[in-house]
Amino acid sequence: MVSFEKDNLVDWTEFNAVREQLGANFARILRYFREDGVKSVEAIEQAMRQRESAALVVPAHTLKGEALQFGARPLSEIAEKIEMTARHLVEIQQTPEELVPDAAQLRPVFEATMASLEEATNPLVQRRHAEEEPAVANQKFGRL
Q: Is residue 135 part of a domain?
A: no
What is the SS3 assignment for 122? coil
Furthest CA-CA distance within the chain: 81
Q: Is residue 136 part of a domain?
A: no
Confidence band for 12, pLDDT divided at 50, 70 and 90? very high
Q: CA 73, CA 143: separation in Å to the nearest integer?
A: 50
Q: CA 57, CA 35: separation in Å to the nearest integer?
A: 18
Residue 117 has pLDDT above 70, yes or no: yes
CATH number at residue 84: 1.20.120.160
Residue 37 has pLDDT above 90, yes or no: yes
Q: Is residue 127 part of a domain?
A: no
Q: Give me the mean pLDDT over the 78-83 stretch.
A: 98
Q: What is the pLDDT of residues 84-95, one digit of tens each?
A: 999 999 999 999
Q: Is residue 50 part of a domain?
A: yes
If one counts the domains in the chain, the total is 1
What is the SS3 assignment for 82? helix
Q: Is residue 71 part of a domain?
A: yes
Q: Is residue 128 part of a domain?
A: no
What are residue 46's phi and psi, to 5 degrees?
Answer: -65, -45
Structural domain span for residue 63: 6-121
